[in-house]
Structure 1
């Protein structure tokens, strides 16, 4: 690891497609940072395989081996701190981030969610949107707080819901936009362009 470079930590539970988007952006110079560690709550997560393919440090933590969620998250903080992480990315991380992480990384944790928040928070956002009859969906990147998909919104991109869309087809189109948006937001953070006042996020002083 290069001690002079801005360091990102990634939390992931699944396939790791957003992790791959970050890796690609770093390799092409779109994001001027390095990934210090990739952490998963699932030892067989595809995200860990992707990380190992790129020689990135990985850490798998089984929540069942801890007495409670706070103890589990405290172990996450230790790993992030050991790897000198400055920004935490929740990229398909399916656990609620709790007090130990929030306290250690205040306004240093971002999440990407497949809806235009505050609409359709939580699990299966695409399914929720289709069931509700929504005409527009999209993705949201926001700072993480103690509530689910609730923190201050950094950026959003809309994706139209098409006639005949399924959960899979809508998910795939939203993912395309996620993979475009996430590196841009990370780079804005790396460059010190983002600031938070209450629920508003400013970029270069502009909301």
Structure 2
């Protein structure tokens, strides 16, 4: 059984989807802990399922490296097989990525490498794109630059604003994430091989 730690910053909608999926006895992964960089609404989902939580408040540390060291210490207590970033709004320090790579994955509301960064949905609309998407990547030291392990297109409809488009991307993100975690657990997806690939698109 694949053990998973999920890191959040907000409502934890992807976390909820994973928890619901993992409640099925046939799903080959289990969430063992949920962490956050701030008091997060998503902790309620973990509490509902009886999953332990931990908090490493970003603002209480002098640097990203100090924050990352405490985050790493908390993760080390649980030693998960996989770490899922589920709306975590902080870049992991290089030392954390190095310690856990390639066992960290993240979702992104765009068809990478298009529209990386924190405002992907807004950027897609501003660019006049006719389609965007959702991606799941292996986390590296860059901003949404890691190897892509799953992605799917989502059309941008006439009249879409940031909110309506994001509402249609989110279910795709969740479905991709649930399937990627399942494939990792089943041995169908090798993250080390993905991370070693020359190009995410190759």
TM-score band, normalised by shorter chain: over 0.9
Residue aligning to 1:132: 127
For residues 49-68 of structure 1, the aligned pairs below 5 Å read: 49-68=44-63
Once the two structures are TM-superposed, the CA of residue 118 in structure 1 deviates from its matched residue by 0.8
C-alpha offsets along residues 19-42 of structure 1, whole Å, 9 cap, x if unaligned? 001001101246311112101111
Distance 1:9 1:31 in 2: 16
Residue aligning to 1:198: 197
- State the number of aligned residues: 198
Secondary structure at the residue paired with 1:46? coil
Once the two structures are TM-superposed, the CA of residue 200 in structure 1 deviates from its matched residue by 4.6
Q: Which runs of 5+ in 1 are unaligned?
A: none
Q: Which runs of 5+ in 2 are unaligned?
A: none
Check if 1:89 corresponds to 2:84. Answer: yes
Task: Check conservation: 2:109, 2:121, Cα contact below 8 A.
Answer: yes
Distance 2:169 2:26 in 1: 21
Distance 1:199 1:146 in 2: 16
Task: Check conservation: 1:126, 1:170, Cα contact below 8 A.
Answer: yes
Residue aligning to 2:17: 21
Using a 3 Å threshold, how does the CA distance of structure 1 residues 133 and 94 change in structure 2: closer, same or farther?
Answer: same
Task: Check conservation: 2:135, 2:176, Cα contact below 8 A.
Answer: no
Once the two structures are TM-superposed, the CA of residue 46 in structure 1 deviates from its matched residue by 1.2
Residue aligning to 2:7: 11
Task: Check conservation: 1:151, 1:199, Cα contact below 8 A.
Answer: no
In the superposition, the TM-score normalised over structure 1's length comes to: 0.91
Residue aligning to 1:31: 27
Greater Cα offset, 75-84 or 192-201: 192-201
In the superposition, the TM-score normalised over structure 2's length comes to: 0.93
Greater Cα offset, 23-32 or 118-127: 23-32
Distance 1:142 1:171 in 2: 18
Once the two structures are TM-superposed, the CA of residue 124 in structure 1 deviates from its matched residue by 1.6
Residue aligning to 1:165: 160
Secondary structure at the residue paired with 1:137? strand
Once the two structures are TM-superposed, the CA of residue 116 in structure 1 deviates from its matched residue by 0.5
Greater Cα offset, 6-15 or 97-106: 97-106
Task: Check conservation: 2:146, 2:200, Cα contact below 8 A.
Answer: no
